[in-house]
Amino acid sequence: MESHDGEWSLKELQKLEGHADRVWSVAWNPATGAAGVPAMLASCSGDKTVRVWEQNPSSSSWSCKAVLDETHTRTVRSCAWSPSGKLLATGSFDATTAIWENVGGDFECVSTLEGHENEVKSVCWNASGSLLATCGRDRSVWIWEVLPGNEFECASVLQGHTQDVKMVQWHPTMDILFSCSYDNTIKIWAEDGDDDWHCVQTISEANGGHTSTVWALSFNTAGDKMVTCSDDLTIKIWETDSRKMMSGDGYAPWSHLCTLSGYHDRTIFSVHWSREGIIATGAADDAIRFFVESKDGSVDGPSHKMILRNEKAHDMDVNSVRWSPGENRFLASASDDGMVKIWELVPVIG
Amino acid sequence: MVSELINANPVVYEKKERRVRSAPSRADEYAVEAIDQLEIFDHLRDIKDPEHPYSLEELKVITEDAIEVDDSNSYVRVTFTPTVEHCSMATIIGLCLRVKLMRSLPSRYKVDIRIAPGSHATEAAVNKQLNDKERVAAALENPNLVDMVDECLAPTNGLAG
């Protein structure tokens, strides 16, 4: 990353209004925002709907393109676009996951995945779009296989967490699944080549892990580091031996690299690592913070420093922060105040 | 539903006299008054216990002193004491406190609810649930639970809500 040692500022580009209740998550459509395709964003809310927003290429202003309603009967908690950008998965407190297809600007619900016993908390597609993972308060993690004709088949139901599972995230390049939970642990799930998924590692307090609910996790671009955030008011950085991981020669375990504490004084709900290496966090104190690896590390190795804290990013808790997939420093945030905001992180010169 | 009351004979305390606030002086007619301990207590004192026909004040489940408020930082922490150590209604009481404050305080407020340390067998577990915003949100989408909470929050005849 081009190092800018000076100051940064977070510019609010636009406030997207429309949801009638808190907004829980936002997701950028990965197939948009470049090559003449207008950028597209999805947001999901306690108002039981999902909104799809699109940016007008000439005016750069965002507007609501579609409202996906009359499907979920309770809060929609999580949304994720497939890597091709053609499908949108939405997970709801109504215990179902809906799959929506973009059919020429209109969004149709083409499938509903049932199985979870209660609230679905997170949905995530793997890098190739062949698998979808979901998790929920029933403590289980489900892996679904994507079949032709928008058919989904349950490939595995993973038990192991002893409490509510808050988020699932696939590794950016390998089909290894990560989950984090109210039980304070992070679990890593892999398949042994025989379609048999099992837990290959559990990161708990004993291994330098969190001491309260782990709300989210995110990987760096290379996929050899991950950052987790928690109700224990810290964010933790983890690393793995990428050569071993990619060689396929057995499982490469993750180990604790560092803990960033003292920066947050209320629960951190969301964390996202940008292409360039800037970590953004969204917390219950209405603020958005940014961290980068600090070059002036001690003998013990690199650490991180906070480059910016935007105190009143929203009027209420920030539930989700997501960097745009494009060649820019745009960030979307979602809040209890019912708003989605689009920001740009800009270096301050001079 | 519980057929036997968990605490059949709770200790009932006398209600505190309600202080009448003096009218603001002419100088601060337009000033917004800072929210203080008494105001928070006034929102909570008449909440009915889920099991007994008494208020949380009468059962000393909440007291004015157990409320910490910092209006300039929009923060409040309420500590409550269930009537018995194994009270399974602790989560409901905590939820009632949260809902009442959610409905009464400006949205800028951050609210922490906790059980008085040492007063409950599973206080860490209850505290964790009560302070997990997502769990609270999901619970409040359960109509049976909402009915219970609304029952506790409903004003009794003759008293201000």
Q: Does the structure show a pLDDT above 70 at A58?
A: yes
* A336 contact residues in B (CB cutoff 8 A): 107
Q: Find chain B residues with C-beta within 8 A of A285's C-beta.
A: 110
- Of the listed ranges A7-11, A242-246, A301-305, B14-18, the least confidently predicted one is B14-18
Please name the residue that has the structure tokens 């960030």: A331
85-124 in A: which are within 8 Å (CB) of B? 93, 118-119, 121
Among candidates A97, A214, A111, A279, which has minimal Cα distance to B128?
A: A214
* Average pLDDT estimate for A307-336: 97
Return the pLDDT at A182: 98
pLDDT at A105: 84
Q: Rounded mean pLDDT of chain B?
A: 87
Tokens of A285: 């104190």
- Taking the alpha carbons of A13, A260, B134, B110 in that order, is the dihedral positive or negative? negative
Average pLDDT over residues A70-89: 97
- Mean pLDDT, chain A, whole residue set: 95
HSE at residue A268, side-chain half, CA atoms within 13 A, is 29
- CA torsion through residues B48, B49, B52, B58, sign: negative
State whether residue A74 sits within 8 Å of chain B by CB.
Answer: yes
pLDDT for position B1: 45
Q: Are B141 and A182 within 8 A, CB to CB?
A: no
Given the structure tokens 């009560």, which residue do they identify?
B130
Instruction: Assess A69–B contact: CB distance below 8 Å, yes or no.
Output: no
pLDDT above 90: residue A43: yes
Predicted confidence at residue B20, as pLDDT, reads 65
Q: ipTM score here?
A: 0.95
φ and ψ at A207, to 5 degrees?
Answer: -100, 30
Which residues from A are below 8 Å from B107, CB to CB?
Answer: 315-316, 336-337
Mean pLDDT of A222-240: 97
- What was the pLDDT predicted at A1? 45
φ, ψ at A243 (rounded to 5°): -65, -45
Task: Considering only residues A33 and A83, tell me which one the structure prediction assigns the higher pLDDT.
Answer: A83
Q: Answer with the residue of higher pLDDT: B131 or A4.
A: B131
Among A139-153, A224-238, A323-337, B12-26, where is mean pLDDT lowest? Answer: B12-26
* Residue A139 neighbours by CB under 8 Å, 6+ apart: A159, A161, A162, A163, A164, A165, A181
Which of B108, B132, B141 is closest, CB to CB, to A93? B141
Tokens representing A263?
């920066």
Q: What angle do CA A59, A63, A68 make, to 5 degrees?
A: 155
Name the band, by pLDDT with cuts 50, 70 and 90, for residue B158. Answer: low
Query: How do residues A101-148 score in pLDDT, each as one tens digit?
Result: 999 889 999 999 999 999 999 999 999 999 999 999 999 999 999 999
Q: How does residue A314 score in pLDDT terms, banded at 50, 70 and 90? A: very high
Question: Of the ranges B10-14, B83-87, B154-158, which one carries the lowest mean pLDDT score?
Answer: B154-158
The pLDDT value recorded for residue B9 is: 72
Task: Closest CB to A213: pick one of B132, B137, B138.
Answer: B132
Whether B107 and A266 lie within 8 Å, measured CB to CB: no
- Check CB contact under 8 Å for A316 and B128: no
**Cα gap A214→A211, rounded to integer Å:** 8
State the DSSP code for A317: -
pLDDT at position A3 is: 59
Averaged pLDDT for residues A5-17: 94
Mutate to test the interface with A, among B134, B136, B145 (most CBs of A within 10 A): B134
Residue predicted with more confidence, A318 or A302: A318
Q: What is the largest CA-CA distance in chain A?
A: 58
Note whether A224 contacts B: Cβ–Cβ < 8 A: no
Taking 80 as the threshold, does the pLDDT of residue A298 lie above it?
Answer: no
Which tens digits make up the pLDDT trace of A175-214? 999 999 999 999 999 998 888 999 999 999 999 999 999 9
Supply the pLDDT for residue A302.
Answer: 65
Helix axes B123-130, B90-104, angle to 10 degrees: 30
Q: Is A59 helix (H, G, I), strand (E, B) or coil?
A: coil
Q: What percent of chain A has pLDDT over 90?
A: 88
Q: B110 vs A93: CB contact, 8 Å cut-off? A: no
The whole-number pLDDT of residue B161 equals 44
Sign of CA dihedral B66, A232, A217, A194: negative
Task: State the angle between helix axes of B90-104 and B143-153 in degrees (0 to 180), rounded to the nearest 10.
Answer: 70
Alpha-carbon gap: A34 to the closest alpha carbon of chain B (Å) = 35
* pLDDT given at position B2: 43
SS (H, E, C) chain B: CCCCCCCCCCCCCCCCCCCCCCCCCHHHCCCCCCCCHHHHHHHHCCCECCCCCCECCCCCCCCHHHEEEEHHHCEEEEEECCCCCCCCCHHHHHHHHHHHHHHHCCCCCEEEEEECCCCCCCHHHHHHHHCCHHHHHHHCCCHHHHHHHHHHHCCCCCCCC
Determine contact: A210 vs chain B, CB below 8 A: no
pLDDT number for residue A219: 98
